[in-house]
C-alpha cells in the first residue's frame, strides 16, 4: 500500500519528484479528474452515511461512546485526510439531525486509525496530520497488513480504504517457481501472460479477499459501514483481452525490462522472478467474495470517472510512464537495487507507449467504489 493508483497521481508525483514536473503531470492537467473523483467519493460517502448508517442501533446510548474510523492502506497521507473529514462531517450531521436525542452533547467523539504496512513511513504521516487543535478527531497509527486482524473485536464503526485493495498480500508462489506450470518467465504480471499465471493471481486474490473480509467481519460493529475504492479492470474488453489498455501497458513495461536484461543491464533471472503483486478485481469478484464471506451486504456500487486523456500521444505516454513509475518504483528497487537504472527503464517504456498510439483510445482503468454494511450477527 506504499504506492497508489491513478487518482492519487499528482500527490504521488510530489512525493517522488521526477524530472519534467512541469509537463503533462502538472496539477492543471490532472485536477479535472481529481476534482471529479473526489466529488463522486464525497457524494457516495455522504449518501451512505445519510441512508445506510443506523446510528440508533450502531452506537451505545452512552454519550461517551467513540465513533472509530479505520483508514486501511493510508500511505503517508495527506490524500486520506479529506475523506476522513467528509466521513466525520456526515456522521456529525446525522447525529445533529437524526440522533437518538438531538442534543449536541450526544455527538460522539471520533478516533481515526491510519493503517498501513509496518514499512510505511508513519513519521511522515504523523507530521502531515492536520494540527491537533484543528482536527475533529484523535489520531492513531496502526502498523500491519489489513489481510490480518489489526483491531480488537467489534471496535470499528467505519472503514475507509482507497486505492489499496488492488495490492495482493504477496506475489503468488507458483509464478516464481521454475518447476510450476505457472512460472511467469520473462513477464511481470498476469495480464498478457498464460492462463496458469492468471489462475495463480486469481487464487491469491480470492484468498486475500477472504482474509480481508474475515478480519473486517470481526473488527467492524454490526451496522458498521465500509467504503472501498478499488482500481479494477478496464471498461473495454475482458482483463485477458490482449488488446486491452492494462494488458498492453503491462506487456510494454515487461518488455522494456526484458530489453534491459538482454543488454545485460539487469540479470534475466531477476526479471523472471519479478512480478507486480497487483490484481485488478471486477465488481463481480467483489460481490462473490462478499457473498462467500456472508457477514456484509453490498449497499451500493459506483464507478469513478475515467482519467481524461491529454491532448497528444506524447503527453499520454509520459503520463502513463510517470504513473507506472510512481506505483512500481519501490518494487523495482527492492528486486533490482542499484543495478537497474529506473530513468532508463521508464524512458524506454514511454517510447514503447508512444509507438503504439492506438492504445490511448481505450486508456484508463475502471475504478469503482463499493459500500458494504456489516450485517447483524
Residues 299-328 that bind a copy of itself (CB under 8 A): none
Residue 18 near residue 25 (C-beta atoms within 8 A) = yes
Residue 132: DSSP 8-state: T
Contacts of 50 (CB under 8 A, 6+ apart): 90, 94
Of 69, 79, 48, 170, the closest CA to residue 115 belongs to 69
Q: Confirm or reject binding of residue 144 to a copy of itself (CB under 8 A).
A: yes
Residues 99-128 that bind a copy of itself (CB under 8 A): 109-111, 113, 118, 121-123, 126-127
| CA angle centred on 193, ends 25 and 339, rounded to 5° | 60
Residue 64 vs 284, nearer CB to a copy of itself: 64
Cα gap 1→168, rounded to integer Å: 9
Residues 158-217 that bind a copy of itself (CB under 8 A): none
Give the x-and-dash track for 331-360 against a copy of itself (CB under 8 A): ------------------------------
Kindly tell me which residue out of 152, 181, 294, 357 binds a copy of itself, with binding defined by CB under 8 A. 152
Give the x-and-dash track for 20-59 against a copy of itself (CB under 8 A): ----------------------------------------
Of 5, 3, 10, 2, the closest CA to residue 281 belongs to 5
Q: Confirm or reject binding of residue 362 to a copy of itself (CB under 8 A).
A: no
Q: Confirm or reject binding of residue 136 to a copy of itself (CB under 8 A).
A: no
Kindly tell me which residue out of 155, 180, 194, 293 binds a copy of itself, with binding defined by CB under 8 A. 155
Cα gap 235→253, rounded to integer Å: 21
Cα gap 270→261, rounded to integer Å: 9
Question: Is 173 strand, coil or helix?
Answer: helix
Residue 2 near residue 116 (C-beta atoms within 8 A) = yes
Cα gap 84→82, rounded to integer Å: 5
Kindly tell me which residue out of 97, 104, 132, 334 binds a copy of itself, with binding defined by CB under 8 A. 132
Q: Confirm or reject binding of residue 129 to a copy of itself (CB under 8 A).
A: yes
Q: Confirm or reject binding of residue 141 to a copy of itself (CB under 8 A).
A: yes
Cα gap 220→215, rounded to integer Å: 9
Kindly tell me which residue out of 35, 153, 170, 303 binds a copy of itself, with binding defined by CB under 8 A. 153
Q: Confirm or reject binding of residue 95 to a copy of itself (CB under 8 A).
A: no
Residue 156 vs 271, nearer CB to a copy of itself: 156
Of 371, 377, 376, the closest CA to residue 158 belongs to 371
CB of residue 144 to a copy of itself, shortest distance in Å: 6
Give the x-and-dash track for 59-88 against a copy of itself (CB under 8 A): -----x-x----------------------
Number of residues binding to a copy of itself, judged by CB under 8 A: 29
Alpha-carbon separation of residue 266 from 5, 207, 331, 332, 344 (angstroms): 26, 32, 15, 11, 12
Residue 47 vs 129, nearer CB to a copy of itself: 129
CB of residue 16 to a copy of itself, shortest distance in Å: 18
Beta strand pairing call for 109-116 and 66-72? parallel
- In the complex, which residues of this chain contact a copy of itself (CB under 8 A)? 64, 66, 109-111, 113, 118, 121-123, 126-127, 129, 132, 138-144, 148-155
Amino acid at each position: 500500500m506504499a504506492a497508489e493508483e491513478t487518482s492519487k497521481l499528482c500527490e504521488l508525483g510530489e512525493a517522488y519528484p521526477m524530472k519534467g514536473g512541469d509537463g503533462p503531470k502538472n496539477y492543471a492537467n490532472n485536477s479535472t479528474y481529481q476534482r471529479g473523483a473526489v466529488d463522486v467519493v464525497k457524494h457516495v460517502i455522504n449518501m451512505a452515511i445519510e441512508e445506510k448508517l443506523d446510528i440508533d442501533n450502531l452506537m451505545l446510548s452512552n454519550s461517551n461512546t467513540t465513533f472509530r474510523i479505520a483508514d486501511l492502506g493510508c500511505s503517508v497521507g495527506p490524500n486520506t485526510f479529506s475523506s476522513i473529514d467528509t466521513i466525520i462531517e456526515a456522521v456529525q450531521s446525522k447525529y445533529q439531525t437524526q440522533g437518538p436525542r438531538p442534543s449536541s452533547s450526544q455527538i460522539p467523539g471520533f478516533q481515526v486509525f491510519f493503517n498501513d504496512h509496518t514499512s510505511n513511513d508513519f513519521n511522515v504521516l504523523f507530521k502531515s496530520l492536520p494540527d491537533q487543535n484543528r482536527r475533529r478527531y484523535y489520531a492513531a497509527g496502526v502498523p500491519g497488513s489489513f489481510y490480518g486482524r489489526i483491531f480488537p473485536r467489534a471496535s470499528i464503526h467505519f472503514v475507509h480504504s482507497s486505492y489499496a485493495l488492488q495490492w495482493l498480500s504477496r506475489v503468488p508462489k507458483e509464478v516464481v517457481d521454475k518447476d510450476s506450470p505457472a512460472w511467469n518467465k520473462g513477464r511481470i504480471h498476469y495480464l498478457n501472460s498464460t492462463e496458469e499465471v492468471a489462475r495463480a493471481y486469481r487464487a491469491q486474490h480470492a484468498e486475500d479477499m477472504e482474509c480481508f473480509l474475515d478480519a473486517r467481519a470481526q473488527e467492524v460493529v454490526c451496522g458498521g459501514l465500509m467504503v472501498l475504492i478499488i482500481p479494477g479492470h478496464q471498461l473495454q474488453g475482458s482483463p485477458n483481452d490482449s488488446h486491452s489498455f492494462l494488458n498492453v501497458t503491462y506487456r510494454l513495461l515487461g518488455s522494456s525490462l526484458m530489453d534491459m536484461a538482454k543488454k545485460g543491464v539487469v540479470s534475466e533471472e531477476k526479471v523472471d522472478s519479478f512480478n507486480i503483486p497487483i490484481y485488478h478485481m471486477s465488481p463481480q469478484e467483489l460481490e462473490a467474495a462478499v457473498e462467500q464471506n456472508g457477514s456484509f451486504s453490498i449497499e451500493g456500487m459506483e464507478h469513478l470517472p475515467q482519467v481524461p486523456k491529454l491532448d497528444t500521444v506524447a503527453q499520454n505516454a509520459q503520463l502513463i510512464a510517470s504513473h507506472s513509475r510512481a506505483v512500481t518504483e519501490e518494487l523495482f528497487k527492492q528486486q533490482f537495487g542499484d543495478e537497474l537504472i529506473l530513468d532508463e527503464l521508464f524512458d524506454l517504456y514511454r517510447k514503447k507507449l508512444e509507438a503504439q498510439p492506438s492504445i490511448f483510445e481505450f486508456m484508463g482503468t475502471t475504478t469503482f467504489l463499493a459500500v458494504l454494511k456489516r450485517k447483524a450477527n
